[in-house]
Chains A and B, each alone.
Chain A
């Protein structure tokens, strides 16, 4: 579904990504883990079209996307649920959801999609008319995820969803991510909460200093000495 081959990317003159390759197959949850500053955000910005790679190629749904604008990539069926939620705080819950359905094809069916999102997140329906900034942290994450689903994506890139949430809420968020996969949405999950992430994912990539240093199924990763030491504190 998503295939990244040997991409290199720079911020100014500083090279951030070095020959990064990554693959997400349909129906998978793929985890991308790495410490702060490892280049995770840069990789995501490159995939979503906010940043241009200098070499390498990316295809999504069989189409080259490495020179496409962000709005074109999102219309192909890729949804990015950004780190820090990035809600439109001065707009209502419902309007935030509507904006998620901005691509023309999604706009036509936004009523039904919205009902579906309310089934997944009943709390959002209760808060429909409230301004997004009045929601609690957990509700804001739910809204960000709901908004990301409104475009009826084939691939959801979920960036640091557990950031700043209470442990119980984190569990709920991870459960929902699993249920999204069960509904046929492919997921690329970027997380610092390595243990939970590896538990619900199918495969994982570990990014360090802009390079992929490990990839494989999650059981292997969880068993690896390097992961245990560097990310699980064991």
Chain B
């Protein structure tokens, strides 16, 4: 029983971060149709910005205010320059999706190589809110609770933004039918760039939250990209609530498998991924 509580709580405490990265990828892949292999690199950059600022005396949680908007801008500009031209030059969406996947691969190597040049490959860590808290008889670090709370708050705020605001509704409309959204007067290139920017910002924010809990390395990005791809498939492509819930589900499964055999965690993600593709390719919340 204790073991189950431990696994579920531990899973929920990492799940919030998975949710955040996956909501980001869901925007980039589900709406903007870019399978962004470099998604985890934005996370890594967010984590290292936090590390660097922390070394210079800035409170790590404050970097949310810097890291989020900064990575949003990078993502937005990147879409407006690279991916918009790919989209406009592609004769159909299939070509656009495969070409932008290739571009994202390039981005992955570029960002990672630069990061390795600057920060090297040794894992870095700093101590922040490291005292332990007892929940249901299990001990957890305070920083993991704070990170999860922030992840849930950011996720919920974004959900409300999509449901309630003019731009949010335009994003949801563009996810369903970009051409018709255009008929309504929605500037599609702008909205897709917004989605890509928000996606990058969420990865960056997840990176900030990861850095306050776990050691970080410049090569950690790809693992999180894989997690995000699995969760987005699990939750239903383009479904923000699906990604949110899916993140927690994968967190619990991952924690369970890790307890049993840490070496099989990533393998288990892929098993889930393949089963989903075979049994329910549209995911739990997919339409």
Contact = CB atoms under 8 A, between A and B. Distances in A.
User: Which of A75, A82, A88, A100 has the most chain B CB atoms closer than 10 A to its own CB?
Assistant: A88
Interface in A61-84: 69-71, 74-75, 80, 82
A119 interface: no
A103 B287 contact: no
B179 A50 contact: yes
Contacts of B182: 50, 70-71
A91 interface: yes
B187 A48 contact: no
Contacts of A151: 184-185
Contacts of B287: 90
Contacts of B132: none
B264 to A, nearest CB: 37
Contacts, number: 57
Contacts of B187: 69, 71
Contact of B170 (A50, A80, A89, A99): A99
Contact of B185 (A75, A91, A98): A75
B180 interface: yes
Given A50-B182, A75-B185, A102-B186, A91 B166 contact: no
A102 B170 contact: yes
Interface residues of B, number: 18
Interface string B159-175: 00000001001101100
Contacts of B169: 91, 95, 98-99, 102
Interface string B174-199: 00110111111111100000000000
Nearest to B182: A70
Given A99-B170, A102-B166, A74 B183 contact: yes
A91 B170 contact: no
A91 B184 contact: no
Contacts of B179: 50, 86
- How many A residues touch the partner, as a band? 20 to 34
A99 B184 contact: yes
Given A91-B172, A91-B173, A102-B185, A82 B180 contact: yes
A121 interface: no
A107 interface: yes
Nearest to A103: B185
Contacts of B176: 88-91
Interface string A89-109: 111000100111011000100
Nearest to B163: A95
Contacts of A91: 169, 172-173, 176
A8 B173 CA distance: 32
A150 B185 CA distance: 11
Contacts of B170: 99, 102
A98 B164 CA distance: 11
Nearest to B287: A90
B173 A71 contact: no
Given A71-B187, A75-B185, A91-B173, A86 B180 contact: yes
A160 to B, nearest CB: 15
Given A50-B182, A86-B179, A102-B169, 15 more contacts: A69-B187, A70-B183, A70-B185, A71-B187, A74-B185, A80-B183, A82-B183, A87-B180, A88-B176, A89-B176, A98-B169, A99-B169, A100-B184, A102-B184, A103-B185
Interface of B: 166, 169-170, 172-173, 176-177, 179-188, 287
A-B pairs, 8 with minimum CB distance? A74-B185, A86-B180, A103-B185, A102-B185, A71-B187, A102-B184, A71-B185, A70-B182
15 contacts: A48-B183, A50-B182, A70-B182, A70-B183, A74-B185, A82-B180, A86-B179, A87-B180, A88-B181, A91-B176, A98-B169, A99-B169, A99-B186, A100-B184, A102-B166
